[in-house]
Structure 1
Amino acid sequence: MELTEELKDLSRRAGVTRFMTLLAAFNLLLSRHTGQEDIVVGSTIAGRNRPELDGVIGFFINALALRTDLSGNPSFIDLLKRVREVCLDAYTHQDLPFEKVVEELNPQRDFSRNPLFQVLFNWADVSERVLTLPGCEIVKLSYAAPSAKFDLTVYAPEIDGRVELAIVYNAELFSEARIAGLLEQFSCLLSQIVEKPERSIDQYSLVTPSAQAVLPDPTEPLDDTWEGAFHELLSKQAEHAPERLAVVDPNETWTYRELDMRSNQLANYLVASGIQPNDIIAIYAHRTSALVLALLGILRAGAVFVILDPTYPASRLISYLRIARPRGWVHIEGAGELSQELRDYLAGLDLCCRLTLPNGKASSDRSPWQDYSSRDLGVPIQADDPAYVAFTSGSTGEPKGVLCRHGPVTHFLPWHKKTFDVGASDRVGLVSGLSYSLLHRDIFTPLFLGATLYVPGPNDMESPERLSNWLRQTGITVLHLTPALGQLMQTVSERILPSLRCVFFAGDVLTTHDTAMIRKSAPNSKILNFYGATETQRAVGYYAVPEHISTQARGGRQAIPLGRGIKDVQLLLLTAGGQLAGIGELGELYVRSPHLARGYVGDDELTQQKFIVNPFTKKSGDRLFRTGELGRYLPDGNVEWVGRKGRRVNIRGFRVELGEVESVLSQHPCSN
């Protein structure tokens, strides 16, 4: 009752009707949910605007399309003025039949939808009535409720002195929980509006009291504990189970003791060659056990690695080298010969160490570092020290180098072990591309667990059939895939993988169809959807896909949720006004964690733009990474992926800035 009176008072002061006030608030609600500023809502009008029609029996109701512009972030008072003008203009032309408007505009028709609006806002009273007739007994006949004519029909009549809100909705599009939440948000929004109508519309919050229980609190303290450097954790595994198999590739096996000893020898050699802490070493690599050895040796030396994929064009690899400015070069045997262009560029670098790493233990016995100590150098490593450089697409035509820290590499490993019940008995397949952040998870996670890392040979990766055979023969139990690779594997006719018990997806949008097909291939597996970015270093969001999930929605192309933040990570959806988004409200995704990358190599300005101080705490060490992704909170607090902000796409798990594509195309002689 109190809110109704306050709405009446606001309407009187603003010179508008209560319908206009409610419509303006509902337009704002729709705008916040859709991310659109041009909102068209339908309404009805009695059509009896002449006295001579008062006593005439008949149907005179006409539909009005009320189009409101919410651009420019006006105050609610100014929005009311816009809505008043829209309504008065519509009332002036109310005699024009709606059918005639549609005929004149001639929009592209879809007979499953209304041609001009899908939401109807009505002032009518739809509460149940009791009919009484003198001398008659009245019996109400029940009937099946008709299907919704619109996606949403909102009723806001005043009954017994108070405004009552009701919604009729299309059950194929919305759940009851979603609509109940929408009504709660409408009521919450109205309460804020009557209290401060002069506010800019982006300053009103859609976070309701019930939503606070499931949404992240952006002021909650997060644990910044460091587990220690990864190579230190590996040494503990070598002490605990020295003869356990650590790495298996088609040619040989490495125990934890051998891996620990040889990586220490490599580290001692690198330091003796002039490598200093924080120096960058480029690794020209392919999938092999020698890659694991190289990573460990470089980390033990206190240096920083960057992996170069031989399948990339030389010009791309040179861009990486120009940004990273390495002091060392490791060429893994079997990665292929360097192009002349790449050799020429390397000749001009100031390298203190250039090494060919043998592809095998036997060859390592003849390596330059065989006589070096196998004792740990004891180089002091802190959580904030750089561990590696990873690259992602840049909008200017140049890739962006991300400087990644030691802390995030190990912080989440105990959580990963506990949450997904993985351990020393598991066999993990190394099938990720060399440029993926997944590659690090493929390597670091199993070696932390004391599990065995299996590396497929080049022939095993040549076709889905060979990869599937390799997975069966090796008895792989844990696998990290991109959705694109998962789809490729489904082309194999005989594809049952009985040993596979955990499949982690990351790198692109995962659909219900994808998960259903993988479930057929790996009937004993749990399926997890991971979310992360190069700048977050690891997967920072996760969603456990239910065993039984419908594939009916959108023909099986319904996106699997990104989920919620893992331990000490929050997935924050923020509005244009910088507020936490409510349930269903469109927001930009920010990752909050003490365990983010340092920033971009040689680009402090971009680092400050993308890694921002948490506006809710304003503490310098409390950072958010701005992902550029758009999403919504579901009623259970999980994040639903919606799209990408700006000009960026993902192709088979690779993040590509369209500006970079344009920059490259513009260099072609035929480009205008």
Structure 2
Amino acid sequence: MPAERHTLYDWFAASATGHPDQPALEIGDTELTYTELARLVDTLAAHLLRHLDGEPPRRVGLLAARTAVAYAGYLAIQRLGAAVVPLGPSFPAERNAGIARAAQLDAVLADGTAENTGRFDAPTLTLTDPELLRLTAPPLPAIRPARPEDLAYILFTSGSTGVPKGVPIQHRNICAYLTHVVPRCVAGPGARFSQTFDLTFDPSVHDMFTAWGSGATLVVPTRDDLLSPVRFVNRHALTHWNSVPSVISIAKRFRALRPGSMPTLRSSMFCGEPLTLQQAEAWQQAAPLSQVENAYGPTELTVTCTAYRLPPDRSDWPAPANGTVPIGTPHEGVQLLLHEGELCVRGPQRFPGYLDPANNTDRFLAPDGSPYDPTTALTDAHWYRTGDGVARAGEDAPLVHLGRGDQQVQVHGYRVELTEVEAALRALPGVMDAAVLPRTTPGGTELTAAYTGTPGTEDGLRTALRDRLPGYMVPATLTGLDALPLNRNGKVDRAALGELLGIPGHPA
């Protein structure tokens, strides 16, 4: 790793020094060069510090999305040596408030776009983009820089206990990741990167800092742009793309993926959910000059930890029995262990353990592969248990993802514990019991739920769930039953329930 890049902010700062006049950020009609963005970041950092009476924060919530405040804010928090804790502008207010409490925020920076702002115990600074661009502040005083072992960001993922889990990522984790992937992007000034992921989802860190770590331009789409990826790519002459594979299915459904329809793309990465060979072929035909790469990794392993780049010639592609593109080989320094078919990982990208140590139980193995004793200290030598089943077709063949053996699914790239959705349903007045299953659709995975009791109308149930869960966790269909089917052990028979809900072949 270059000596000057020990923290996440260092990757941006190096490009601001080396490519000051190159465009760093495009949002709508606003374009900022690296010099302009760096100046704005320092001004915002100084303003935030003054808002906190000069006391440098440790953790700052960022309640913002697809605005200049969001991106300048992310960098300003890093500039202050603090950890970013993204909050969801579309999340229910109580969910954001719960995340803020669990993260013990010192401040919240908001852009005013949240549907339900709610109240936070920490001081809150709200700025619109026009206010940000007019902002003035005294020079930023000397700040103790973050250290490699300090936290760069904390993301909260769906929790099997019904409560989101905090996943802290250290600067050394994300810098190890960027040291591997930035050269793979083969980018520099003039390259143009998409930013399709919400800040609450860790591939957004890849989007921002592979662009800014290369001296390239980060181009931010609107929500409407995300529904028309081909048009967005061509309108902005993008060279680098990153999204969930379901974007391909949406584009195919609208018949937008015509051969050669994205001639400017040179690199395309997909992550967050399985990439099928059919999806990859459709994208490659539409972007014939682009590499197509499938990347894999849970949040705990810092964005992605393995990747597979498809050969340019379709005849050289592998053909796994499950019809998906392999997840490939590990990033530099990442070590893999197959434990009874489950992928376990350690190395410089592995997170230091959950924010709540109680969540570490059953999620790690000891260095020798034996069960982890949660009463002992967690070290870098411990293996993280991903919960994902993998296999190889041969000794030197790339890894293929086989699915999971628990109740965790991916919905448009977001990790969802079905038990958290079920807990939210059971907490509603009138609901006696509930079970949730995934359903595969042309647009990706969606959730469908069954419940017992007399809670009222389906619309009323859905509205109540939206007050508790992010939109992607709210089931698309809700079906009332007299009773949930049970197996001989008295547990929900998910295979039988799948048949009742029209999802044949769903595993038990």
**TM exceeds 0.5?**
yes
Q: List per-residue Cα deviations over 1:610-654 (Å, max 9, x = no partner).
A: 244422699933232111111112312421111212222222212
Equivalences for residues 221-260 of structure 1 within 5 A: 227-260=5-38
Aligned position for 1:356: 126
Please give the per-residue CA displacement for 1:548-587, whole angstroms capped at 9, x wherever unaligned. 4479969x96011111101111232122xxxxxxxxxxx1
TM-aligned CA distance change 1:226 to 1:660, over 3 Å = farther
Aligned to 1:598: 352
1:651 correspondence with 2:416: no
Query: Looking at CA atoms only, which structure, 1 or 2, has the larger radius of gyration?
Result: 1
**Is 1:416 the equivalent of 2:194?**
no
Aligned residue runs from structure 1 range 63-82, under 5 A? none
Matched, 1:298 2:52: no
**Secondary structure at 2:188 match in 1:** coil
Aligned: 1:634 with 2:393: yes
Query: Does the aligned pair in 2 maintain the 1:248–1:453 contact within 8 Å?
Result: yes
Structure 2 residue runs of 5 or longer lacking an equivalent are 373-377, 433-508
Structure 1 residues 258, 437: closer, same or farther in 2, change over 3 A? same
Question: What is the CA–CA distance in structure 1 between the aligned matches of 2:106 and 2:318, rounded to whole Å?
Answer: 54
Paired position in structure 1 for 2:43:
265
Contact 2:347 / 2:380 at 8 angstroms: preserved in 1?
no
Distance 2:73 2:41 in 1: 7
Alpha-carbon distance in structure 1 between the residues aligned to 2:2 and 2:28: 39
Paired with 1:606 and 1:637, the residues of 2 have a C-alpha distance of: 34
Q: Deviations over 1:375-405 (max 9, x none)?
A: 7x34221111011110111111111111111
SS in 2 for 1:600: coil
Counterpart in the other structure of 2:252: 490
In 2 relative to 1, CA 614–422 (structure 1 residues): closer, same or farther, beyond 3 Å? farther
**Matched AA of 2:252:** Q
Is residue 22–residue 189 contact of structure 2 (8 Å, CA) maintained in 1? no
Is 1:372 the equivalent of 2:138? Answer: yes
Q: CA offsets, 1:472-504, max 9 Å, x none?
A: 011001011101122212233344111011110
Distance 1:242 1:552, change over 3 A: closer
Note if contact 1:263-1:296 (Cα within 8 Å) is conserved in structure 2.
yes
Structure 1 residue 435: Cα displacement: 2.2
Q: Hey, what does 1:427 align to over in structure 2?
A: 192
Residue 440 (str. 1) matches residue 205 (str. 2): yes
- Equivalent position amino acid for 2:358 in 1: E
More strand by share: 2
Alpha-carbon separation, structure 2, partners of 1:523 and 1:280: 43
Deviation per residue, 1:133-173 (Å, 9 max, x gap)? xxxxxxxxxxxxxxxxxxxxxxxxxxxxxxxxxxxxxxxxx
Task: Look up the match of 2:214.
Answer: 449
Task: Give me the identity figure in percent.
Answer: 28
Deviation at 1:598? 2.2
The residue number in structure 1 matching 2:304 is 539
Aligned equivalent of 1:307: 86
The 1:604–1:315 alpha-carbon spacing in structure 2 relative to 1, beyond 3 Å, is: same
Give 1:479's aligned residue: 241
After superposing on structure 2, the runs of 4+ consecutive aligned residues of structure 1 that deviate more than 6 Å are 223-226, 550-554, 616-619
Q: Are 1:614 and 2:367 matched, yes or no? A: yes
Cα deviation 1:307-362 (Å, max 9, x = unaligned): 122222333323322322322111114x14x53xx53x32xx1x2x32122314xx
Amino acid at match of 1:366: R
Q: In the alignment, is the contact (CA less than 8 A) between 2:57 and 2:107 conserved in 1?
A: no
Q: Point out where structure 1 has 5 or more consecutive residues left out of the alignment.
A: 1-222, 576-586
How has the CA–CA distance of structure 1 residues 622 and 226 changed in structure 2, closer, same or farther, with 3 Å as cutoff? farther
* Residues 27-69 of structure 1, C-alpha deviations (whole Å, 9 max, x = no match): xxxxxxxxxxxxxxxxxxxxxxxxxxxxxxxxxxxxxxxxxxx
Q: Distance between the aligned counterparts of 1:457 and 1:641, measured in 2? A: 32
Residues 420/284 of structure 1: CA separation in 2 closer, same or farther (3 Å cut) = closer
Q: Which amino acid is 2:173 matched to?
A: P
1:330 equivalenced with 2:109 (yes/no): yes
2: CA distance, partners of 1:408 / 1:226: 16
Partner of residue 333, structure 2: 568
TM superposition score normalised by structure 2: 0.77
Residue 625 (structure 1) aligned with residue 384 (structure 2): yes
- Among 266, 275, 284, the alignment partner of 1:501 is 266
- After TM superposition, the score normalised by the length of structure 1 is 0.59
Structure 1's 487 and 265: CA in aligned 2 closer, same or farther, altered over 3 A?
same
Q: What is the CA-CA distance between 1:262 and the residue it aligns to?
A: 1.7
> Which amino acid is 1:630 matched to?
G
Change (3 A) 1:262 1:404: same
User: For the structure 1 residues 552 and 477, does the alpha-carbon distance in structure 2 shift closer, same or farther, using more than 3 Å as the test?
Assistant: closer
CA gap 1:231/1:225 in 2 versus in 1, 3 angstroms: closer
Q: 1:226 to 1:644 in 2, by over 3 A?
A: farther
Q: Which amino acid aligns with 1:477?
A: T
Alpha-carbon offset, residue 276 of structure 1:
4.9
Corresponding residue for 2:480?
A: none
- The DSSP-based 3-state class of the residue aligned with 1:435 is coil
8 Å CA contact 1:564, 1:570 repeated in 2: no
Cα distance, 1:655 vs. partner? Answer: 1.4
Tell me, in whole angstroms, the C-alpha distance in 2 between the residues paired with 1:278 and 1:322: 15
Instruction: Provide the C-alpha distance between the structure 1 equivalents of 2:410 and 2:19, rounded to a whole number of angstroms.
Output: 41
Cα distance, 1:293 vs structure 2:
0.3
Q: Verify the 8 A CA contact 2:344 2:384 in the aligned structure 1.
A: yes
Give the Cα separation in 1 of the matches to 2:239 and 2:385.
34
Match in the other structure for 1:388: 153
2:125 counterpart letter in structure 1: L
Aligned residues: 420
- 2 CA distance for matches of 1:533 and 1:365? 36
* Aligned CA distance change for structure 1 residues 459 and 643 (closer, same or farther; 3 Å): closer
